[in-house]
Structure 1
């Protein structure tokens, strides 16, 4: 009974601050009076606290622009984790538009929505991402194209890396920085997670969002480490497949190091 009361309390707490921040973000987008990255970042931080997720950083996000941050992907909570660190925008799958709460914030955060199954739409989606990069928006790409179990990195899809090259066509800068990032879920209630436990935190395939959210709300404290690697310069004559492979290799290396030091 007490656990159910706590769960309801957490849901109500999220609701209390979500509506004002949505309105705040709407005003920011319509008027430009303040940064449209402030409200989402605050919402991500508050929601991590409610979920009991603590984030530890190794390395820092690059300050140079244009910047494409490329990360492994374990769960929808990765968005909260990365969004709480710095003001970023996400490349998200199109289905996310309809998600409760997160879908609304994804739209208001000016995410680029992609339909990975529609290959004909890829050039248009890459151009949209390129425009955002060239305008100075730091973009986050989950290059696996799906979520993994948190124990390994899946092969990166190179298609949207081509947006970095497209961005250079409309800019005077000679390069786009591609920064590899590894997200590692390490501990629950201070105790190291094993492979099975880490996999239970992942949000894989067609799992329903709300049951997964409720399960997380009932979890004990979770520790996450985010490792920012050295940015990889991508010039106009660069090979997107080579850059994708290099980024994948670095993310995999950082994840292995993080999991071994848990």
Structure 2
């Protein structure tokens, strides 16, 4: 049996539903028993979901082993969520507010303690920034996509310095740049031809893209955990954004050499 046969859309969807049916009820039961405490169930869910989707993850380096870390990662696909969630235990995502209304996906995001931001409401930005800073101040670690949207997978988009405002005033905070790339499909390097089935861009609907991704077969995702830095050492928000963008983009080019 080929990898493509093992991880077709039907098997991937069945695996994802099985994963959710086991771990989501467990999370609903455990959370009221330990309010405010982190459980390993979101991490287990992301690991199981990645495997169900046929994604095999290779990590270079490791996430910072401490509280109060803001991970700054590039954004290629909806699959980034389970992939990063599987390798960064205990961290929650910062996502656009629309995700909370995506039916089952939104409910799962809620269970994962996702922080929602309304990027189109500039007047709400200070309150949202303060809310995220409060989460970091309590010792939470968060995953930020500083591009502000998904890229097409060919290269990393510019990082928005305004999104790093959440780091202002948070003591003892570390920022760790993270590069994520989908590098191989069924053992062969990813090319521009099959990249659209991996990258989720534009107005593409979620479920059709998910079926196309699962139909590819076995996917190799690689993550580089770069050296963490202190915002106080970066000389301001813009310099911090440039540093993270440069490090992440360089890592992406190394991982995606086959694109030319």
The TM-score, its normalising length taken from structure 2, stands at 0.90
RMSD: 2.3
Q: Is the 8 A contact 1:57 1:227 kept in 2?
A: yes
Q: Could you state the TM-score of these two structures normalised by the residue count of structure 1?
A: 0.89
Structure 1 residue aligned with 2:135 = 132
Out of 186, 190, 197, the position equivalent to 1:193 is 190
34 and 113 in structure 1: CA distance in 2 versus 1, 3 angstrom threshold: closer
Instruction: Find the aligned partners of 1:35 and 1:48 in 2 and give their Cα distance.
Output: 24
Task: Give how far 1:126 is off.
Answer: 0.9
CA displacement at 1:6 relative to structure 2: 5.4
Q: Which runs of 5+ in 2 are unaligned?
A: none
SS in structure 1 of the partner of residue 149 of structure 2? coil
Structure 1 stretches of 5 or more lacking a match? 169-174
Deviations 1:200-253 (A, max 9, x none): 311112211111112222221111110010011112994111111111111111
Aligned to 1:207: 204
Q: Decide which of 37, 62, 65 is 1:63's aligned counterpart.
A: 65
Task: Please tell me whether the aligned partners of residues 156 and 245 of structure 1 are also in contact (alpha carbons under 8 angstroms).
Answer: yes
In 2, distance between residues paired with 1:164 and 1:6? 41
2:52 aligned with 1:18: no
> Quick one: distance in 1 between partners of 2:232 and 2:211?
44
Contact 2:15/2:49 (<8 A) preserved: no
Q: Residue 217 of structure 1 corresponds to which residue in structure 2? A: 214
Report the 3-state secondary structure (helix = DSSP H, G, I; strand = E; otherwise coil) of the residue aligned with 1:167: coil
Q: Deviations over 1:118-139 (max 9, x none)?
A: 1111111111110111111110
Instruction: Quote the Cα distance in structure 1 between the aligned partners of 2:9 and 2:164.
Output: 40
Quick check: 2:189–2:258 contact (8 Å CA) kept in 1?
A: no
Aligned-pair distance for 1:98? 2.0
Corresponding residue for residue 49 of structure 1: 51
1:33 is displaced (CA, Å) by 7.7
Q: Is the 8 A contact 1:165 1:235 kept in 2?
A: no
1:226 to 2:229 alignment: no
How far the C-alpha of 1:167 sits from its partner, in A, is 2.1
Q: Please state whether the residue corresponding to 1:195 is helix, strand or coil.
A: coil
- Could you say which residue in structure 2 is the equivalent of 1:249? 246
- 2:158 paired residue number: 155
**Alpha-carbon distance in structure 2 between the residues aligned to 1:6 and 1:67:** 36
Indicate how the Cα distance of structure 1 residues 187 and 236 shifts in structure 2: closer, same or farther if over 3 A, else same: closer
CA distance in 1: counterparts of 2:74 and 2:234, whole angstroms: 26
1:171 maps to which residue? none
C-alpha change, 1:105 and 1:21, in structure 2 (3 Å) is: same
Contact 2:177 2:228 survives alignment (8 Å): yes
Give, in angstroms, the shift of residue 157 of structure 1: 1.0
Q: Is the 8 A contact 2:19 2:49 kept in 1?
A: no
Cα distance, 1:190 vs structure 2: 0.3
Runs of 4+ in 1 over 3 A off after TM superposition: 5-10, 33-37
**Contact 2:197–2:209 (CA under 8 A) maintained in structure 1:** no
